[in-house]
C-alpha cells in the first residue's frame, strides 16, 4: 500500500509543479489588475477594487473545478488576462459601468454564436494573426514602461532604478537558471521587493480584509460598445477558447468545446453584474497544465487544483490584495506586469511573423500601439478592422491558407 501511494505521488509531482508555476503567474497577473483599477486606469475605490479582484479571480474558478473534475482534463477558466490588458490600455477612456455593459454584450454574443454553432467561424471573420498583432501592440507599452523607469537623474529616481533594475536582472537570471521549471517572474518580484524594503519604498503592512461587492449598473454607450465589445469577443474566442481547444486536442484530450463556450458566455454575462469580467479558457496556463511536462495524460488534470485554490484564496482575501497597491510601489507593480507579459509579447510577435499573414497583423500591431481615433473609436477597434481589411485585400493567398488550416483544425 505504501509503495503504491509513493508511486502515485511520484506520478503526480509533475502536475503539481506545473500547477505551482501557473499559481505564480496568477499572482503576477494581480499587478495588472491593480494597475487597471488604479488612478491611471479606472480609478476605483478600494471597496469596488476589492470586489472586482474577487470577481476576476474567484468566479471563474467555480466552473473550472466542476469541468476539470467532470472531464478529467485541465479546463482552467480565468478572467481573461488579455481583456485586463485591454482595460489598462484604454487609459480610463471608458467608465467601469461602460466596460461592464460591453463585457455583458460580449458574453451574450459568444453565447448566441455558440447556440447557432458559428463560434468557430469567428476565426474566419477575425483571423488569429490579426488578434495577435493587436495583443502585441497592447502588451508592448507595459514592457517599454519597465525600461522607462530606469533613470539616474536624482536620488529618488536612483532608488527606483535600483529596485526595477534588480527585478529585471533577477528575471533574466531566472530565465537562464530556472528555465521552464519555475516562472522567472517570482525571483524578479522577490528581488525588487528586497531592494524596495532596503531603500524604504515599501508602505505599511496591510490588514486582513475581505472583499466588498456591489452591483454595477451597466451603461450601454454606443462608442464603448463599438470600441470594446468586438475586442472582448475576439480575445475570448479567437485568442483564448478556440486555440485552447485545439491545443487540448493536440495533446490527446477531447474537450467539450460547446459547453466551454456556453460557460464562457453565460459566465461573462452573469459575472459582469459586479463589474466587467470575461470568462474563458486561458491558453498560456494550458500549455503548462495540459502539456507533456505535467506528467501522464490521464492525471494532468491535477495540475489545475493548485491554481484553482490560489484563485479562490485571492478572491477571499481580495480586500487585502487591493491594499497591495499602497504597500508595494506602483512602479514595481508596473514592472512586474511588464515582465509577466513578456512571454505573451514574444508569443504574439512570433505568431505575427510566422505567416501566412504578415502585413495585416503588422498594421494591426502598429495601430494598437498608436493613439489613433476616428469617428470616436479608438485604436483597438481600428486595429481589428484595418488589419483584417489589409489582409483581405493584399494577402488573399495567406487568407485562403489560414482558412483552410482553420477548417482542418476545427
pLDDT in tens, 185-201: 778 888 998 998 888 87
| Integer CA distances (angstroms), 380 to 125, 135, 196, 342, 376, in order | 16, 9, 35, 20, 12
- Residues facing residue 334 across a β-bridge: none
Q: Which residue has the higher pLDDT, 83 or 3?
A: 83
Q: Are 259 and 299 in contact (CB under 8 A)?
A: no
Does the pLDDT value for residue 202 go beyond 70? yes
- Whether residue 166 is contained in a domain is answered as no
More confident residue, 111 or 223: 111
Evaluate whether 103 touches 258 at the Cβ level (below 8 Å): no
Is residue 157 one of the residues assigned to a domain?
A: no
pLDDT at 149: 83
Mean pLDDT calculated for residue range 213-240: 88
Q: Is 72 exposed, middle or buried (0-12, 13-18, 19+ CB in 10 A)?
A: middle
Confidence of residue 120 (pLDDT cuts 50, 70, 90): low
Q: Is 355 within the bounds of a domain?
A: yes
Band of pLDDT at residue 231, cut at 50, 70 and 90: confident
pLDDT(255) > 80? yes
Helix (H, G, I), strand (E, B) or coil at 153: coil
Residue with cell 489582409: 391
d(CA 246, CA 254): 10
Domain membership of residue 186 (yes or no) is no
pLDDT number for residue 326: 66
Question: Averaged over 101-117, what is the pLDDT?
Answer: 93
What average pLDDT does this structure show over 145-157? 82
Residue 400's pLDDT band (cuts 50, 70, 90): confident
Reported as type and span, the H/E element at residue 335 is helix 330-340
230-267 burial string, b = 16+ CB within 10 Å, else e? bbbbbbbbbbbbbbbbbbbeebebebebeebbbbbbbb
In this prediction, residue 289 carries a pLDDT of 86
> Lowest-pLDDT range, 77-91, 163-177, 322-336, 361-375?
322-336
Residue 305 lies in a domain: yes
Torsion angle in degrees (nearest 10) through CA of 292, 298, 307, 59: 130
Q: How far is CA 206 from CA 317, 330, 394, in A?
A: 11, 15, 55
Residue numbers of the domain that contains 401: 2-143+201-278+287-336+344-409
Residue 189 is assigned to a structural domain of this protein: no
Per the listing, cell 509531482 goes with 13
Mean pLDDT of 143-160: 83
Q: 161 lies in a domain?
A: no
Average pLDDT over residues 299-325: 87
pLDDT at residue 325, as a whole number: 62
% of the chain beyond a pLDDT of 70: 91
Helices 379-394 and 359-369, axial angle in degrees (round to 10): 160
Buried b (16+ CB within 10 A) or exposed e, 303-327: bbbbbbebbbbbbebbbbbbbebee
Tens-digit pLDDT profile for residues 261-294 = 999 999 999 999 999 999 999 877 887 788 887 8
The pLDDT tens digits for 69-94 are: 999 999 999 998 888 878 877 767 88
Name the more confident of 289 and 376: 289
The pLDDT assigned to 259 comes to: 95
Q: Flag whether the pTM goes above 0.95.
A: no
Query: Is residue 25 scored above 80 in pLDDT?
Result: no
Residues of the chain with pLDDT > 90, as a percent, come to 30
Asked if residues 65 and 12 have their Cβ atoms less than 8 Å apart, the reply is no
Mean pLDDT over 23-32 rounds to: 77
Instruction: Please check whether residue 196 is in contact with residue 202, taking contact to mean a CB–CB distance below 8 angstroms.
Output: yes
- H or E element: which one contains 258? helix 257-271
Convert the pLDDT of each residue in 39-72 to its tens digit.
Answer: 777 888 888 989 999 999 999 999 999 999 999 9
231-254 average pLDDT score: 84
C-alpha 248/C-alpha 259 separation (Å) is: 15
Domain count within the chain: 1
Tell me whether residue 98 is in a domain: yes
Amino acid at each position: 500500500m505504501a509503495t503504491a501511494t509513493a508511486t502515485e505521488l511520484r506520478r503526480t509531482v509533475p502536475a503539481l509543479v506545473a500547477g505551482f508555476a501557473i499559481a505564480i503567474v496568477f499572482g503576477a497577473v494581480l499587478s495588472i489588475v491593480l494597475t487597471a483599477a488604479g488612478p491611471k486606469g479606472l480609478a476605483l475605490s478600494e471597496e469596488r477594487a476589492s470586489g472586482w479582484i474577487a470577481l476576476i479571480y474567484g468566479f471563474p474558478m467555480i466552473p473550472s473545478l466542476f469541468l476539470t473534475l467532470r472531464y478529467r482534463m485541465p479546463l482552467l477558466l480565468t478572467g481573461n488576462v488579455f481583456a485586463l490588458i485591454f482595460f489598462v490600455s484604454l487609459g480610463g477612456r471608458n467608465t467601469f459601468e461602460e466596460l461592464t455593459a460591453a463585457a455583458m454584450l460580449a458574453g451574450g454574443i459568444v453565447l448566441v454564436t455558440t447556440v447557432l454553432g458559428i463560434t468557430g467561424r469567428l476565426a474566419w471573420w477575425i483571423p488569429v494573426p490579426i488578434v495577435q498583432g493587436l495583443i502585441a501592440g497592447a502588451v508592448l507599452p507595459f514592457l517599454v514602461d519597465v525600461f522607462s523607469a530606469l533613470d539616474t537623474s536624482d536620488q529618488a529616481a536612483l532608488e527606483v532604478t535600483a529596485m526595477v533594475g534588480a527585478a529585471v536582472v533577477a528575471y533574466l537570471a531566472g530565465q537562464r537558471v530556472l528555465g521552464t521549471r519555475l516562472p522567472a517572474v517570482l525571483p524578479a518580484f522577490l528581488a525588487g521587493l528586497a531592494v524596495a524594503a532596503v531603500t524604504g519604498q515599501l508602505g505599511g503592512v496591510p490588514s486582513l480584509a475581505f472583499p466588498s461587492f456591489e452591483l454595477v449598473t451597466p451603461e450601454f454607450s454606443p462608442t464603448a460598445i463599438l470600441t470594446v465589445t468586438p475586442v472582448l469577443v475576439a480575445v475570448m474566442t479567437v485568442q483564448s477558447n478556440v486555440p485552447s481547444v485545439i491545443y487540448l486536442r493536440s495533446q490527446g484530450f477531447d474537450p467539450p468545446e460547446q459547453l466551454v463556450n456556453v460557460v464562457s458566455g453565460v459566465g461573462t454575462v452573469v459575472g459582469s453584474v459586479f463589474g466587467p469580467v470575461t470568462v474563458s479558457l486561458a491558453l498560456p496556463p494550458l500549455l503548462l497544465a495540459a502539456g507533456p511536462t505535467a506528467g501522464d495524460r490521464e492525471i494532468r488534470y491535477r495540475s489545475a487544483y493548485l491554481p484553482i485554490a490560489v484563485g479562490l484564496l485571492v478572491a477571499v482575501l481580495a480586500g487585502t490584495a487591493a491594499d497591495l497597491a499602497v504597500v508595494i510601489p506602483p512602479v514595481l507593480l508596473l514592472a512586474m506586469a511588464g515582465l509577466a507579459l513578456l512571454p505573451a509579447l514574444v508569443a504574439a510577435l512570433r505568431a505575427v511573423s510566422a505567416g501566412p499573414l504578415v502585413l495585416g497583423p503588422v498594421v494591426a500591431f502598429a495601430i494598437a500601439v498608436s493613439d489613433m481615433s476616428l469617428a470616436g473609436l479608438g485604436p483597438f477597434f481600428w486595429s481589428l478592422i484595418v488589419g483584417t481589411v489589409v489582409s483581405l485585400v493584399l494577402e488573399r493567398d495567406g487568407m485562403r491558407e489560414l482558412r483552410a488550416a482553420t477548417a482542418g483544425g476545427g
